[in-house]
Amino acid sequence: MWHEERYQRIRGLLKTLGQVSVERITGDLGVSRETIRRDLLKLEAMGEIQRVHGGAVLAGSEPPIGVRATTRVKEKRLIAKKVASLVESGQTVFLDAGSTTTLVAEALAGLSGLTVITNSVDVASRIAGAAADGNDSHVQLLGGRFQGEPGATYGAATIAEINRYQAHLAILSPVGVDESMGASSFVLDESEVARAMSANARCTVIAADHSKIGVRSRVGYCAPKDIDVLVSDRRASKLKAMKAIGKAVGKVVYA
């Protein structure tokens, strides 16, 4: 099998499955792991894919949430703690699905009387767990079309439910943030949910670690002027892209 044919087969698997393992590719194509390793390195160099542990995803997309949950955990926990400091007891808060917002949910456990509205099963579980331990906050899990990865609801029904609420804050975690597009995501469904949450909140807080700064993904959902607070880690302060972003958004806070 010629290398270009392998590339096409790998592209097809990624478009269909989102993420594929090296084992799946070698099995489907009937070639060695070393051959696939070279193919993935070449496709990554061409900017078409992003290698992750054990496989690959399409370039510009986020790795599965299980992978994201194990990367830059220290930075995300610091960001989550800083975001939680912006929330007051008794407020109503939107949280979208993501590894960072899951940690935000954990950090909110110390606050009382919150109403957290989310499309994420992980976020809902963290808030419900805090309530079971005596916290009087409660969570509303939005209905809609369920997607097992990343374990969240999406679609028209989800958007319709979001539009029923007015929240104090929308806390969102994008694929990337840049000075012209603002916050963006690779998946349209995720962007639509985040856009609706931002539109129905008094204040939009974007939680993004340094790896997302200066990154523009496929679908924008919150223009820079609509980002009230951008929370990132201190490594982001040294990035050239952050200088332009800082001028475009309402406020930047470092964790």
Rounded (5°) CA angle 136-117-211? 110
**pLDDT score recorded for residue 216:** 85
> In this predicted structure, which of 10-24, 37-51, 95-109, 233-247 has the lowest mean pLDDT?
10-24
The DSSP output letter for 174 is: -
> In this predicted structure, which of 15-19, 181-185, 201-205 has the lowest mean pLDDT?
15-19
| Amino acid symbol at 76 | K
Q: Sign of the C-alpha dihedral, residues 69, 147, 158, 213?
A: positive
Question: Hey, is 182 helix, strand or coil?
Answer: strand
Neighbours of 12 (CB within 10 A): 12
Burial class (CB in 10 A: 0-12, 13-18, 19+), 5: exposed
pLDDT of residue 66 exceeding 70: no
pLDDT of residue 41 exceeding 60: yes
Neighbours of 132 (CB within 10 A): 8
Tokens for 51, please give them: 């290698």
Return d(Cα 104, Cα 153) in angstroms, integer: 19
Let me know: does 120 contact 189? Beta carbons within 8 Å. Answer: no
pLDDT in tens, 141-158: 999 999 887 899 999 999
Question: Hey, is 148 helix, strand or coil?
Answer: coil
Q: What is the pTM of this model?
A: 0.76
Domains of the chain: 3-59 (1.10.10.10), 68-254 (3.40.50.1360)
Rounded (5°) CA angle 122-54-60? 65
Return d(Cα 181, Cα 244) in angstroms, integer: 12
